[in-house]
A and B are shown apart, each in its own frame.
Chain A
Amino acid sequence: KNEVEQSPQNLTAQEGEFITINCSYSVGISALHWLQQHPGGGIVSLFMLSSGKKKHGRLIATINIQEKHSSLHITASHPRDSAVYICAVREKTSGSRLTFGEGTQLTVNP
Protein backbone atom coordinates (compact mmCIF):
# COMPACT_ATOMS: atom_id res chain seq x y z
CA LYS A 1 0.00 0.00 0.00
CA ASN A 2 1.36 3.42 -0.98
CA GLU A 3 1.91 5.95 1.74
CA VAL A 4 0.03 8.49 -0.37
CA GLU A 5 -3.09 7.41 -2.23
CA GLN A 6 -5.06 9.55 -4.63
CA SER A 7 -8.49 9.06 -6.12
CA PRO A 8 -9.68 8.95 -8.74
CA GLN A 9 -6.78 7.99 -11.01
CA ASN A 10 -8.56 9.42 -14.03
CA LEU A 11 -11.33 11.98 -14.17
CA THR A 12 -13.20 13.35 -17.16
CA ALA A 13 -15.53 16.30 -16.73
CA GLN A 14 -17.51 18.75 -18.79
CA GLU A 15 -16.56 22.39 -18.77
CA GLY A 16 -18.13 24.17 -15.83
CA GLU A 17 -18.36 21.14 -13.56
CA PHE A 18 -17.14 21.13 -9.96
CA ILE A 19 -14.15 18.82 -9.57
CA THR A 20 -12.89 17.05 -6.45
CA ILE A 21 -9.67 15.07 -6.18
CA ASN A 22 -8.92 13.23 -2.97
CA CYS A 23 -5.68 12.33 -1.22
CA SER A 24 -5.18 10.06 1.79
CA TYR A 25 -1.89 9.44 3.52
CA SER A 26 -0.70 7.08 6.23
CA VAL A 27 2.32 8.86 7.70
CA GLY A 28 2.82 11.79 10.01
CA ILE A 29 3.36 14.90 7.95
CA SER A 30 4.55 18.45 8.40
CA ALA A 31 2.92 19.65 5.18
CA LEU A 32 0.94 18.49 2.15
CA HIS A 33 1.39 19.81 -1.36
CA TRP A 34 -0.88 19.84 -4.36
CA LEU A 35 1.02 20.00 -7.64
CA GLN A 36 -0.12 20.39 -11.23
CA GLN A 37 1.82 18.76 -14.06
CA HIS A 38 1.09 20.02 -17.54
CA PRO A 39 1.24 17.78 -20.64
CA GLY A 40 4.70 19.15 -21.45
CA GLY A 41 5.95 17.90 -18.09
CA GLY A 42 6.47 21.10 -16.13
CA ILE A 43 5.23 21.04 -12.55
CA VAL A 44 3.61 23.94 -10.74
CA SER A 45 3.09 24.01 -7.02
CA LEU A 46 -0.55 24.92 -6.34
CA PHE A 47 -0.78 24.75 -2.56
CA MET A 48 1.18 23.85 0.52
CA LEU A 49 -1.06 23.04 3.50
CA SER A 50 -0.49 22.08 7.07
CA SER A 51 -4.03 22.73 8.33
CA GLY A 52 -7.42 24.06 7.31
CA LYS A 53 -8.19 25.41 3.90
CA LYS A 54 -6.60 27.55 1.20
CA LYS A 55 -8.12 29.19 -1.84
CA HIS A 56 -6.53 30.57 -4.97
CA GLY A 57 -8.83 31.67 -7.74
CA ARG A 58 -11.01 28.69 -8.71
CA LEU A 59 -8.90 26.25 -6.72
CA ILE A 60 -9.58 25.26 -3.13
CA ALA A 61 -7.52 22.86 -1.04
CA THR A 62 -8.52 21.45 2.32
CA ILE A 63 -6.80 19.18 4.77
CA ASN A 64 -7.99 17.21 7.80
CA ILE A 65 -4.93 16.27 9.83
CA GLN A 66 -6.82 13.94 12.17
CA GLU A 67 -8.29 11.97 9.29
CA LYS A 68 -5.09 12.20 7.21
CA HIS A 69 -7.03 13.36 4.20
CA SER A 70 -6.90 16.26 1.79
CA SER A 71 -9.06 17.36 -1.11
CA LEU A 72 -8.43 19.61 -4.07
CA HIS A 73 -11.49 21.27 -5.56
CA ILE A 74 -11.79 23.08 -8.85
CA THR A 75 -14.85 25.25 -9.34
CA ALA A 76 -16.21 26.11 -12.80
CA SER A 77 -13.71 23.80 -14.49
CA HIS A 78 -12.23 24.76 -17.84
CA PRO A 79 -10.41 22.78 -20.54
CA ARG A 80 -7.18 24.55 -19.58
CA ASP A 81 -7.44 22.82 -16.17
CA SER A 82 -6.69 19.52 -17.94
CA ALA A 83 -3.49 18.22 -16.37
CA VAL A 84 -2.19 15.68 -13.88
CA TYR A 85 -2.75 16.70 -10.28
CA ILE A 86 -0.33 15.25 -7.77
CA CYS A 87 -0.64 15.10 -4.01
CA ALA A 88 2.69 15.02 -2.16
CA VAL A 89 3.43 14.97 1.55
CA ARG A 90 6.40 16.14 3.51
CA GLU A 91 6.93 13.58 6.23
CA LYS A 92 7.83 14.88 9.68
CA THR A 93 11.08 12.93 9.72
CA SER A 94 12.30 13.62 6.18
CA GLY A 95 13.10 17.33 6.04
CA SER A 96 11.96 18.86 2.76
CA ARG A 97 11.81 15.53 0.91
CA LEU A 98 8.39 14.72 -0.61
CA THR A 99 6.47 11.47 -0.97
CA PHE A 100 4.22 11.54 -4.02
CA GLY A 101 0.86 10.09 -4.88
CA GLU A 102 0.35 8.47 -8.26
CA GLY A 103 -1.45 11.49 -9.66
CA THR A 104 -4.91 12.12 -11.05
CA GLN A 105 -5.27 12.71 -14.77
CA LEU A 106 -7.99 15.33 -15.24
CA THR A 107 -9.53 15.98 -18.63
CA VAL A 108 -12.06 18.77 -18.97
CA ASN A 109 -14.00 18.70 -22.22
CA PRO A 110 -15.50 21.83 -23.76
Chain B
Amino acid sequence: GAVVSQHPSRVICKSGTSVKIECRSLDFQATTMFWYRQFPKQSLMLMATSNEGSKATYEQGVEKDKFLINHASLTLSTLTVTSAHPEDSSFYICSASDRDQPQHFGDGTRLSIL
Protein backbone atom coordinates (compact mmCIF):
# COMPACT_ATOMS: atom_id res chain seq x y z
CA GLY B 1 0.00 0.00 0.00
CA ALA B 2 0.89 3.66 -0.19
CA VAL B 3 3.57 4.75 2.25
CA VAL B 4 4.34 8.16 3.67
CA SER B 5 7.60 8.61 5.52
CA GLN B 6 7.92 11.40 8.06
CA HIS B 7 11.23 12.34 9.60
CA PRO B 8 12.34 12.88 12.29
CA SER B 9 10.02 11.00 14.61
CA ARG B 10 11.14 12.95 17.65
CA VAL B 11 12.95 16.23 18.17
CA ILE B 12 14.10 17.83 21.39
CA CYS B 13 15.76 21.20 21.05
CA LYS B 14 16.35 24.51 22.73
CA SER B 15 14.07 27.50 22.48
CA GLY B 16 14.93 29.69 19.49
CA THR B 17 15.99 26.80 17.27
CA SER B 18 14.39 26.24 13.88
CA VAL B 19 13.25 22.70 13.22
CA LYS B 20 12.58 21.11 9.83
CA ILE B 21 10.24 18.14 9.43
CA GLU B 22 10.18 16.17 6.19
CA CYS B 23 7.26 14.29 4.68
CA ARG B 24 7.89 11.98 1.74
CA SER B 25 5.55 9.88 -0.33
CA LEU B 26 7.54 6.76 -1.15
CA ASP B 27 5.55 5.02 -3.85
CA PHE B 28 3.10 7.53 -5.26
CA GLN B 29 2.99 11.12 -6.42
CA ALA B 30 1.54 13.41 -3.77
CA THR B 31 -0.21 16.24 -5.56
CA THR B 32 -1.43 17.50 -2.20
CA MET B 33 0.13 17.29 1.25
CA PHE B 34 -1.47 18.27 4.52
CA TRP B 35 0.18 19.30 7.77
CA TYR B 36 -1.61 18.72 11.06
CA ARG B 37 -0.95 19.50 14.67
CA GLN B 38 -2.33 17.36 17.46
CA PHE B 39 -2.56 18.25 21.13
CA PRO B 40 -2.86 15.49 23.75
CA LYS B 41 -6.25 13.79 23.81
CA GLN B 42 -7.46 15.91 20.90
CA SER B 43 -8.10 15.25 17.26
CA LEU B 44 -6.00 16.43 14.35
CA MET B 45 -6.00 20.15 13.61
CA LEU B 46 -5.24 21.09 10.02
CA MET B 47 -2.50 23.70 9.81
CA ALA B 48 -2.02 24.02 6.08
CA THR B 49 -2.54 22.40 2.72
CA SER B 50 0.21 22.40 0.14
CA ASN B 51 0.03 21.62 -3.54
CA GLU B 52 3.17 20.79 -5.45
CA GLY B 53 4.76 23.86 -6.99
CA SER B 54 2.49 26.41 -5.37
CA LYS B 55 2.27 28.28 -2.09
CA ALA B 56 0.67 26.56 0.87
CA THR B 57 -2.80 27.51 2.04
CA TYR B 58 -2.79 28.14 5.76
CA GLU B 59 -5.74 27.71 8.10
CA GLN B 60 -7.00 30.67 10.06
CA GLY B 61 -4.84 31.37 13.07
CA VAL B 62 -1.76 29.58 11.76
CA GLU B 63 1.20 31.93 11.29
CA LYS B 64 2.74 31.36 7.87
CA ASP B 65 6.00 33.02 8.91
CA LYS B 66 6.22 30.72 11.90
CA PHE B 67 5.38 27.50 10.10
CA LEU B 68 7.11 27.53 6.72
CA ILE B 69 5.89 24.91 4.28
CA ASN B 70 7.63 23.94 1.09
CA HIS B 71 6.28 21.43 -1.41
CA ALA B 72 8.98 21.50 -4.05
CA SER B 73 8.37 18.10 -5.62
CA LEU B 74 5.62 15.53 -5.98
CA THR B 75 7.20 13.38 -3.29
CA LEU B 76 8.47 15.83 -0.68
CA SER B 77 7.02 18.50 1.54
CA THR B 78 8.75 20.14 4.48
CA LEU B 79 7.47 22.00 7.51
CA THR B 80 9.91 24.32 9.24
CA VAL B 81 9.04 25.61 12.68
CA THR B 82 11.03 28.81 12.88
CA SER B 83 12.45 30.13 16.16
CA ALA B 84 10.56 27.47 18.08
CA HIS B 85 9.34 28.16 21.59
CA PRO B 86 7.93 25.83 24.27
CA GLU B 87 4.36 26.58 23.17
CA ASP B 88 5.22 25.05 19.79
CA SER B 89 5.80 21.70 21.47
CA SER B 90 3.29 19.31 19.99
CA PHE B 91 2.76 16.31 17.75
CA TYR B 92 2.96 17.20 14.06
CA ILE B 93 1.73 14.79 11.40
CA CYS B 94 1.63 15.00 7.65
CA SER B 95 -0.49 13.26 5.09
CA ALA B 96 -0.31 13.00 1.34
CA SER B 97 -2.77 12.25 -1.39
CA ASP B 98 -2.78 11.91 -5.14
CA ARG B 99 -5.76 13.85 -6.50
CA ASP B 100 -8.98 12.22 -5.24
CA GLN B 101 -7.26 9.25 -3.62
CA PRO B 102 -7.37 8.74 0.17
CA GLN B 103 -4.90 10.57 2.34
CA HIS B 104 -1.99 8.49 3.63
CA PHE B 105 -0.47 9.57 6.91
CA GLY B 106 3.07 9.73 8.19
CA ASP B 107 3.95 8.43 11.64
CA GLY B 108 4.22 11.93 13.07
CA THR B 109 6.92 14.00 14.73
CA ARG B 110 6.90 14.70 18.44
CA LEU B 111 8.48 18.11 18.95
CA SER B 112 9.65 19.17 22.39
CA ILE B 113 11.09 22.65 22.87
CA LEU B 114 13.00 23.21 26.10
A102: chain B residues at CB < 8 Å are 42-43
Which of A58-66, A68-76, A91-99 lies at the interface? A91-99
**Which of A33, A43, A95, A96 sits near B93, CB closer than 8 Å?**
A43
A25: chain B residues at CB < 8 Å are none
Closest to A38 in B: B107
- By the criterion CB–CB under 8 Å, are A96 and B99 in contact? yes
Given contacts A41-B93, A42-B108, contact A96 B44 (CB under 8 A): no
| In the complex, B49 has a CB within 8 A of chain A | yes
| In the complex, A110 has a CB within 8 A of chain B | no
Given contacts A40-B107, A43-B105, A97-B49, contact A103 B100 (CB under 8 A): no
- Interface residues of B toward A: which range? 20 to 34
- By the criterion CB–CB under 8 Å, are A45 and B104 in contact? yes
Which residues from 95 to 111 on chain B have a C-beta closer than 8 Å to any C-beta of chain A?
95, 97, 99-108, 110
**Which of A41, A45, A95, A100 sits near B102, CB closer than 8 Å?**
A45
| In the complex, A108 has a CB within 8 A of chain B | no
A95: chain B residues at CB < 8 Å are 32
Query: Can you list 26 pairs linking A and B with CB atoms under 8 Å apart?
Result: A31-B102, A33-B102, A33-B103, A35-B105, A40-B107, A40-B108, A41-B38, A41-B91, A41-B93, A41-B110, A43-B93, A43-B95, A45-B104, A48-B102, A86-B43, A86-B44, A95-B32, A96-B99, A96-B101, A96-B103, A97-B34, A97-B46, A98-B34, A101-B43, A102-B43, A103-B43
Residues of B bordering A, CB below 8 Å: 32, 34, 38, 42-44, 46, 49, 91, 93, 95, 97, 99-108, 110
